[in-house]
Amino acid sequence: MSALAFAIVALLLSGPVPAMLARATWPLRAPRAAIVLWQAIALAAVLSAFSAGIAIASRLFEPGADGRPTATFASSIAMLGWPLWTAYVVVFVLTLVIGARLIVSVLRVAIATRRRRAHHRMVVDLVGSHRRRPRSRGGLRILDVAEPLAYCLPGVRSRVVVSEGALNTLSANEVSAILEHENAHLRARHDLVLEMFTAVHAAFPRFVRSAHALNAVRLLIELLADDAAVRAEGPTPLARALVACASGRAPRGALAAGGPTTVVRVRRLGGEPNSRILAAGAYAAAAAVLVVPTVAFALPWLNELHRLFLA
């Protein structure tokens, strides 16, 4: 039953639950807590998938006369029957595949992203002019581009990049707002949060994964950066700057100020403020997502496994 329960929880947390949360509007008023909830769901889904595989593996080893597990396939098949034994083996192999894909995905995303950023950082250092401003981490790189554009390249050697078009189009406080937006990404290392969800998304097979979590987190980290810019310059300068830079395209691996979520973000700036009540509820839900499956399924199974191996 533990294996079945873990498998059901993993499927729910990788499909229906993210789909329902992605349709909700309350995360717009509690972006930080919503990110924590998304992280809890992703972590619980991965842990549940692994726990299902481990629980199934323990069932494949029937206890011998001394109470210790034995690796005799014949006895496992005799106890479970061919259909159930085959299903257990398939799920266990699938769990191993997901684990391997997760490790490979984390390494692949991290290496590829850092290579792209390093290459683009070299390009903007060569062709862009350097300028230092207050609160600008590592200074600015100004590109001679007529289109309004602003983005950041996170990392140890981070860069904030804006175009001449943005500087010529935006007023002083609008420029400050857009720079504070990008610096907020760099300070909080929002790129690492995005990398984790990208790796988890790539690790799960196509028939069980969805893009809801990845797309939602992309929006939420932009909302957090928007909130930092609002605290520094107010909502109106930021809204004008976002509209001006909405069509600007940033390289892969960068975090751009504009993009397809601009309309949602600008509307949010004129809507209701963030809610501490919603944030508290989201934090409580995140804790429940991690704690309840562990208490309900994992502890009884771990106790049984401990008894089995120490018998």
Concatenated DSSP letters for 223-267? HHHHHHHHHHH-HHHHHHHHHHTTT----TT-EES-STTHHHHHH
Query: DSSP string covering 294-310, please?
Result: IIIIIHHHHHHHHHHHH
d(CA 257, CA 19): 26
Q: What is the pTM of this model?
A: 0.84
Structure tokens at 71: 């690796």
Query: Could you give phi then psi for residue 93, rounded to 5 degrees?
Result: -65, -40
Cβ-Cβ contacts under 8 Å for 261 (sequence gap 6 or more): 218, 219, 222
Q: What is the pLDDT of residue 133?
A: 56
Structure tokens at 85: 């034994």
Q: What is the pLDDT of residue 100?
A: 86
d(CA 199, CA 108): 8
Query: Residue 265, Cβ neighbours under 10 Å: how many?
Result: 22
Structure tokens at 94: 């699938």
Look at the block and give the residue holding tokens 């501490």. 276
Output the CA–CA distances (angstroms, integers) from residue 195 to 140, 198, 255, 268, 282, in the order listed.
Answer: 24, 5, 12, 25, 22
Q: What is the pLDDT of residue 93?
A: 80
Q: What is the pLDDT of residue 70?
A: 54
Return left, alpha or beta for 76; rule: phi > 0 is left, psi -120 to 50 is alpha, else beta. Answer: alpha
Per the DSSP assignment, residues forming a β-bridge with 159 are 153
Q: What is the pLDDT of residue 4?
A: 75
- Whole-number CA gyration radius for the chain: 24
Cβ-Cβ contacts under 8 Å for 257 (sequence gap 6 or more): 150, 151, 178, 181, 182, 241, 242, 245, 248
Q: Which domain holds residue 76?
A: 2-310
Q: What is the pLDDT of residue 97?
A: 81
Domain count, the chain: 1
| pLDDT tens-place values along the chain, 311 residues long | 577 778 788 888 888 899 899 999 999 999 999 999 999 998 888 888 777 777 776 666 655 555 555 555 566 666 666 677 777 777 778 778 878 888 898 899 899 999 999 999 999 988 888 765 555 555 689 999 989 999 999 988 889 999 999 999 999 999 999 999 999 999 999 999 999 998 888 877 776 667 888 999 999 999 999 999 999 999 999 999 999 998 878 888 889 888 888 999 999 999 899 999 999 999 999 999 988 777 766 665 666 566 656 65
